[in-house]
Amino acid sequence: METLALGNQGLQVSRLGLGCMGMSEFYGETDELESLSTLNHALELGITFFDTADIYGYDEDGIGANEKLVGKGLRQHRQAVQIATKFGSIRNKTQHLGYNGKPQYVKQACEASLHRLGTDYIDLYYLHRADPDVPITETVGAMAELVKEGKVRYLGLSEVTPQQLADAHAVFPITAVQTEYSLWSREPERGLLNACRKLGVGFVPYSPLGRGFLTGTISSRSQLTQGDWRMYNPRFSEEAFEQNINIVHGIQQLAQQKGVAPAQVALAWVTAQGNDIVPIPGTKRVKYLQQNVAALSIRLTPEELSRLNEIAPVGSTFGSRY
The three-state secondary structure class of 5 is strand
The three-state secondary structure class of 185 is strand
Question: Which of 22, 13, 16, 23 shows the shortest CA–CA distance to 294?
Answer: 16
Instruction: Determine which one of 56, 105, 126, 181 is catalytic.
Output: 56
Q: Which amino acid is at 107?
A: K
Question: Which of 135, 62, 125 shows the shortest CA–CA distance to 102?
Answer: 135
DSSP 243: H
| β-bridge partners, 154 | 124
Longest dimension (CA), the chain: 55
Q: Helix axis angle, 238-258 relative to 262-271, nearest 10°?
A: 90
CB of 321 within 8 A of CB of 185? yes
Active site residue 121: no
CB of 172 within 8 A of CB of 199? no
The enclosing H or E element of 62 equals strand 62-63
Q: Which amino acid is at 209?
A: L
306: number of Cβ within 10 Å = 11
Distance CA 294, CA 268 (A): 10
The enclosing H or E element of 264 equals helix 262-271
The catalytic residues are 56
